[in-house]
Structure 1
Amino acid sequence: MLDHSISSLPSGLEHSVSGSMLPDLQISFRVFAAHRRKVNANWSFPEHKHSQYEINVVLEGSQHMRVEGRNYTQTEGELLWLTPNQRHSSLGVLDGTTMEYICIHFEVDDSWLRQQLNQLTDVRYPVGSPLEQALRPIIKDVAQATKESEGTHQKLLTLQASFRLFAVLSELLLQVKQQHSAQSPTTELAEQIAAQIEREWALVSNAEDGTDDKVPLRIEQLAEQLGYSSTHCNRVFHKAYGISPRQYVSMIKLRKAKLLLMNPALSIEQISEQLGYRDLSQFSKQFKRWTNMSPTAYRQLSY
């Protein structure tokens, strides 16, 4: 997690001749459910979808995958790139013997970064493609880490691979950005919606009821302000970021909750109030739905 917005630092502007600043970053990501598995000819996995990105690579053998109703033949070394909420399933091994694969899920809570990642629109990346080549050494190290016994060493290897993953993806996105410098009108609209949601969330979080019940109304009001229907805004936003505006509000609140929980000077009750929840119980229940752990448990992990 990166948080470079430190308001207590002096500006340093006095007697300055020239200068420039980089943008503040407040991005958190989560790599989870990474696994390596070898299966026989009878194995398959039912159709499902989730809000995370997924990288699926065949290490040995071949696999029959279906993504959004389209069939893909995935041979050894080939990579499947799945964006949030894409329906996908594995129809099993192609050659009737065995198949080994590795799967990595990761989650990003920043709308701008999600938009950039969603520019990688292909599902199948063959051996030798830029994405496969860039990720190959990382996938190899993740596969090796799965052989380690659980403990500090395995966690450090996973952490190292996670940072390398995002570094490589950033390099690829820079290349994509240089090749497609012009933004489409729908992309600009999605960015406007995201920026306004960030501002509107402060009003929602200060409401007497801290739930997301009022979010749909605010999205409708936002669409009206921009001169579009709420249906169009939801569709454009989902295409750019892979999630709905309502889901994005929840991600903002979760990111803020995590940051506040890392501040030992704040009690959990104070954090609950800052986020706009009417009581500690409501905040705790919502946080557990998001993370499968209580605010207290998350705070303990941070120290």
Structure 2
Amino acid sequence: MKMEKGTAKEIGKEKAADWAKGLRHFPNRKAEAHFYGAQMGSVPDGWACRRHLHHMMFELNLVMEGTQLAEVGGTVYRQGKEHLILVPPMMLHSYRAEGAFAFFVMHVQVDDPVFLNKLNRAKLFLMSPEQELNRLLLPEVRRIMALVQDSAASKTQLFRSLYAIMELLESSLATQEDDGSDADVLPIRIAKAIESLVAERHAEEAIAAGWMEALAERLGFSRRHCYRVFRDAYSLSPRQYLAVLRQQEAMHLLMGGELGVEEVARRIGYDNVQSFIRQFVKWTGVTPGAFRRQRAGETVYLTPLELE
């Protein structure tokens, strides 16, 4: 019996439709991680690293020999050999030596606001060698230490260990979160908007007096609500965060040596250079010119202000 052509086409369409019904489509995904400010070395007794923060990135700090005192979020921790300190984004912290000691430090910027906010909420901070998370993280940190010293090591090797660290942290965070709880991403959105005030301006633009009200309006919330959620997340106010960013960015620009003091002032939102100089003296104890001449070695811990 001969089958008509039209019938064959219809059967083919039905088979194609049945096959298509079995397909599952998944969303496209993109992830970015940046590896910043890795350092290793020994420092003498009396060494100190002044109070600072890192925007949109977390820090892992390992003491290899000796002891340092780490202040994170207002609490001082004694960090001994093989102790890890995890500093979440936007968390003020400082270090000082308790005798000579050796260390390794690295910073990781990621584009996952939920993960970053969970880091803030978890308050992992000091992890001693006796803790399970320390035992899991330490081999990956040591692997990264070896990779950064190997000129032949590939990016793939480095970032494999970075993502292994983030996976271990995510697993730990998952056990600490209440069922069904989600980190509020609004504090991260506020932080990014504040960073834009410093990083995404033309030189002649100053930061206006009503910047917080304008920022809250753009985000669709009240100024009071934005202030509260930011303070709850990071233990500092939006205004304090802006001040720290301006200070750190000014130090970066001055260390670069290419811009004049007046240009640096404008770049961080000051339309009056004398106001900037007075404020810089309050921040550091010296004028911008003196700071540049001294090229204070302690500023190497500062990570760059970069937006997505």
**Interval of TM-score (by shorter of Structure 1 and Structure 2):** 0.5 to 0.7
Preserved contact between residue 36 and residue 107 of structure 2 (Cα < 8 Å)? yes
2: distance between equivalents of 1:142 and 1:61? 21
Letter in 2 for 1:113: F
Matched position secondary structure for 2:109: strand
> CA RMSD for the aligned pairs?
4.3
**Residue 29 (structure 2) pairs with residue 25 (structure 1):** yes
2: distance between equivalents of 1:84 and 1:193? 9
* Alignment gaps of 5+ in structure 2: 1-15, 194-205, 242-266, 269-303
Q: CA deviation at 1:232?
A: 1.7
Q: CA deviation at 1:84?
A: 1.5
Residue number among 109, 114, 117 corresponding to 1:115 in the alignment = 117
Matched position secondary structure for 1:86: coil
Residue number among 99, 102, 119 corresponding to 1:100 in the alignment = 102
Matched position secondary structure for 2:159: helix
2: distance between equivalents of 1:170 and 1:130? 14
Residue number among 62, 66, 70 corresponding to 1:61 in the alignment = 66
Preserved contact between residue 138 and residue 161 of structure 1 (Cα < 8 Å)? no
Task: Provide the TM-score with structure 2 as the length reference.
Answer: 0.56
Q: Which residue of 1 aligns with 2:144?
A: 142
2: distance between equivalents of 1:20 and 1:238? 43
Preserved contact between residue 53 and residue 90 of structure 2 (Cα < 8 Å)? yes
2: distance between equivalents of 1:81 and 1:118? 10
2: distance between equivalents of 1:238 and 1:27? 28
1: distance between equivalents of 2:306 and 2:187? 29
Q: CA deviation at 1:107?
A: 0.9
Q: CA deviation at 1:127?
A: 0.8
* Alignment gaps of 5+ in structure 1: 1-11, 199-210, 248-284, 293-303
Task: Provide the TM-score with structure 1 as the length reference.
Answer: 0.57
Q: For each residue in 1:9-65, what CA deviation from the matched residue of structure 2 results, as whole angstroms up to 9, or x when unmatched?
A: xxx987434454544322211111101111121322222222131100101111111
Question: Would the alpha carbon gap of residues 140 and 222 (structure 1) be closer, same or farther in structure 2, given more than 3 Å must change?
Answer: closer
2: distance between equivalents of 1:33 and 1:88? 16
Question: Would the alpha carbon gap of residues 192 and 73 (structure 1) be closer, same or farther in structure 2, given more than 3 Å must change?
Answer: closer
Residue number among 211, 217, 226 corresponding to 1:233 in the alignment = 226
Letter in 1 for 2:111: D
Larger Rg: 2
Preserved contact between residue 135 and residue 165 of structure 1 (Cα < 8 Å)? no
Moved over 6 A (4+): 211-215, 241-245
2: distance between equivalents of 1:183 and 1:192? 19
Q: For each residue in 1:213-268, what CA deviation from the matched residue of structure 2 results, as whole angstroms up to 9, or x when unmatched?
A: 999636325444xxxx33323542575589999x9xxxxxxxxxxxxxxxxxxxxx
What is the aligned-residue identity percentage?
23
